[in-house]
Amino acid sequence: MRHSLLVVCLGVLAACESSDKVSPTTLVWMDWPAEVNASESFRTRLVTWGICASNPRFYSGASANSEAVTFSPYYLVDGNTVYCATAREALIVVAIDTAGIAPGLSALVSRTYEMRGTVTGYVRENSIAGYAPVWTFGEVHVVSEGANPSRRNAAGTVTLQRDTLACARITPTGLYDPEGGLVLEDQADTTGLAYAFVRGYVYDAPSPVCGETRVFHLEAVN
């Protein structure tokens, strides 16, 4: 089993080989309902790194215990050879916008669980090369019933972009999607957001920002 964080091929026509095995990947971004009903599964947006393989099948690797929901995403790949990149193209890293279903969480009384996922090693200064640590992205609040679905907690590694009107948006790193950016609620607070790990939430602001009401409220930058 190959435990590479990203499988890229170097060389003019280098080939990636696989033989029906598991190829782990890591999370770039995650967002999920801030509040959910007990025992009900919920959809979580996942932005993960893609891989170079023949016929990759994505699995979110969702699990839960008494403390947290954890996503350890991976691909199942078959044994066919695939020509995946030239040396120049191998430098272009592409992220995939997908989703995972978190299992229902028990709660006799209102409580929180952590939301965790595997990330690339460079997120932590003391990480070991080639090791994918599990990082806490945030929390989900579990109630017995009547969960409010309007707000989504969110976290991940982002790039800062400005549109033609100079509006600041954050986009999950490596995700090339013109519609994938989130407008920052505070347009003046953009320091340190280039390739940073951020935490916050997405909600409907009372007043439009850059012509949009669905915005990202920044809480922390790592």
Instruction: Say how many CA atoms lie within 13 Å of 140 toward its Cβ.
Output: 34
Residue 115 and residue 138 in contact, taking contact as beta carbons nearer than 8 Å: yes
The C-alpha atoms of residue 212 and residue 218 are separated, in whole angstroms, by 16
Tokens of 66: 């008494």
In the numeric block, the tokens 């016929």 are attached to 55
- Are 119 and 51 members of one domain? yes
- Are 188 and 140 members of one domain? no
Evaluate if residue 8 carries a pLDDT over 50: no
Give a yes or no: residue 193 inside a domain: yes
- Are 178 and 143 members of one domain? no
- Are 44 and 123 members of one domain? yes
Give a yes or no: residue 180 inside a domain: yes
- Are 41 and 101 members of one domain? yes
* Phi/psi at 90 (5° precision): -65, -20
Strand partners for 154 = 31, 200
The C-alpha atoms of residue 218 and residue 222 are separated, in whole angstroms, by 12
Domain that holds residue 41: 14-149
Task: For the beta carbon of residue 125, count every other beta carbon within 10 angstroms.
Answer: 5
Position 17 confidence tier, pLDDT thresholds 50, 70, 90: very low
- Are 167 and 98 members of one domain? no
pLDDT tens per residue across span 62-104? 999 999 999 999 999 886 545 455 444 444 558 999 999 999 9
Instruction: Mark which of 149, 179, 204 sits at the end of a domain.
Output: 149
Best mean pLDDT range from 5-19, 82-96, 129-143: 129-143
Structure-model confidence comparison of residues 22 and 44, the more confident one: 44
Instruction: Mark which of 133, 149, 165 sits at the end of a domain.
Output: 149
- What's the domain count of the chain? 2
